[in-house]
Amino acid sequence: MSITRGAKKAHRSSLRKKEFNLRRKNTVSRTIKSFKKLIISGNKKSAVAMMREVQSALDKAVKGKTLKKNTAARKKSRLSKLIRRFS
């Protein structure tokens, strides 16, 4: 366990950040899963609308430093490629 007051405070802060980051990552993964379900089912219009939500979730994760910029760009690229392949 931490000894100094500053280390204890930093530990509490890291636990809060961890919870926030996990929540943000779960949001991203849930939107991606529902997006992939739409693509597989063949709803192109719904999938295109959902792509905006996915991009927004990824951009928010990058803005909050939960994901790296290139990771989000790679995911967006692969998902847009998926739309083109299934439609």
37-65 pLDDT per residue, tens: 999 998 888 999 999 999 999 999 999 99
How far apart, in whole angstroms, are the C-alpha atoms of residue 36 and residue 17?
29
Work out the angle between the directed axes of helices 44-63 and 69-86 (0-180°, nearest 10).
180
Amino acid at 14: S
State which amino acid sits at residue 43: N
Rounded to an integer, what distance in angstroms lies between the CA atom of residue 6 and that of residue 21? 22
Residue 3 confidence class, pLDDT cut points 50, 70, 90: confident
Domains of the chain, start order: 5-86 (1.20.58.110)
Q: How many CB atoms lie within 10 A of CB 18?
A: 10
Query: Model pTM?
Result: 0.84
Percent of the chain with pLDDT over 70: 97
Q: How many Cβ atoms sit within 10 Å of the Cβ of residue 5?
A: 8
